[in-house]
Amino acid sequence: MPFKTLTPDRKRIVAGIGLAAMVFFGTAATQYIDPPPTGAGLAPLAPDIRPGERLYAGSAAALEAAFARDGYTMDAVRNGAPVPRAMLRALPGWLDDETEAERRKRLFLKAALPLVLRVNETIRAQRATLERLLRRREGGETLGGRERAWLARIAAHYRTDPGKPAELRARVRPIPPSLALAQAATESGWGSSRFARAGNALFGQWTYSEDEGLEPEKREPGKTHRVKAYGRLIESVWDYARNLNTNRAYLGFRETRAQLAADGGRPTGLMLAATLSSYSQKGMEYVWLIQDVIRQNGLDTLDAARLAPRETRLAAR
């Protein structure tokens, strides 16, 4: 039966089989989503990932080929080229088998950077909506029901109160890409850890729920924590950003970031890494490690990276 004569349900089934075949045989498939609304509408409460946006690859060669077709290189990004809107759902199982360390690093950074930028794009959209609503409220205007509900939900996400505008403004801010990439690389072993491969966990965040996450193989006696697991990589990045933006352990991070922004500067990963001694039991050794990863891999040059605009649609594979 020709494809055009199939019913909509059968078309979806056939399309799904075709996509599975592409993944199985090592080819790459990419599709894209629109960015979150930033104009007169209300920004999304989380990255608005739609079913049509995915990056699949069955081998290192296939992933590299997809990036090459899109002209996606770190050198190009550092020279101002936009980053393709290509979001990897999960790290390929072969990534930990890549014996060439530099190759694995390049692939990991290219896969992780769009996710970090997508999360930051959502946070910036939220901040734009937040500022608009707060300014109207502070000017004596009564907000509509949907707007009040949005404020309540965004405050709940950032673990504060809609009646605390200063706290909201301090929390709803993006994370420097260099910092997120350095921490993801360190915590996941450049994508090779069991937590990254089995649980899409790039940042090693803990949970104490017995029914969630993955149990560390070398957990100390008496410890009950597990490492959070996620359905998609972007959920791990989103949870990491929320952690830095809400946890009281990172108050210094948020205060330093806000002060740098108020002084007219751009908060960088190197600057803000100095505030994260509480992120690891290693304390300041962890801070120095993250700063070294940023310097040694030139990640500070990615703080100005940007996603391709909405109008730029790279060809589906």
User: Which tens digit of pLDDT belongs to each residue from 172-189?
Assistant: 999 999 999 999 999 998
**Is 36 or 298 the better-scoring residue by pLDDT?**
298
Which residue has tokens 């490492």? 227
Full 3-state SS string of 36-67: CCCCCCCCCCCCCCCCCCEEECCCHHHHHHHH
Please tell me the least confidently modeled range out of 186-195, 212-221, 275-284. Answer: 212-221
Query: What's residue 204's pLDDT?
Result: 77
Question: Rounded distance, CA 175 to CA 121, Å?
Answer: 10
Strands (DSSP E) found in 220-270: 226-227
Domain boundaries, the chain: 10-302
Please tell me the least confidently modeled range out of 86-100, 145-159, 299-313. Answer: 86-100
Of 183, 176, 180, 182, nearest in space to 296 by CA: 182
264 — pLDDT class (breaks 50, 70, 90): confident
Q: Read off the pLDDT of each residue in 271-293 and give the average, rounded to a whole number.
A: 96
Query: What's residue 30's pLDDT?
Result: 31
Question: Rounded distance, CA 67 to CA 49, Å?
Answer: 20
3 — pLDDT class (breaks 50, 70, 90): very low
Q: Read off the pLDDT of each residue in 19-26 and give the average, rounded to a whole number.
A: 32
Query: What's residue 195's pLDDT?
Result: 72
CB atoms within 10 A of CB 180: 27
Of 131, 174, 177, nearest in space to 151 by CA: 131
Sorted by sequence, the CB contacts under 8 Å of residue 77 that are 6+ apart come out as: 83, 113, 302, 305
Residue type, 112: A
6 — pLDDT class (breaks 50, 70, 90): very low
Mean predicted lDDT score pLDDT of the chain? 80
Question: Rounded distance, CA 118 to CA 307, Å?
Answer: 8
Sorted by sequence, the CB contacts under 8 Å of residue 44 that are 6+ apart come out as: 36, 37, 122, 125, 126
| pLDDT over 80 at 153, yes or no | yes
Domain 10-302 has CATH 1.10.3660.10: no
Q: Read off the pLDDT of each residue in 163-169 and give the average, rounded to a whole number.
A: 96
| pLDDT over 70 at 248, yes or no | yes
How large a percentage of the chain has pLDDT more than 70?
Answer: 74
Q: Read off the pLDDT of each residue in 285-312 and give the average, rounded to a whole number.
A: 91
97 — pLDDT class (breaks 50, 70, 90): low
pTM: 0.81
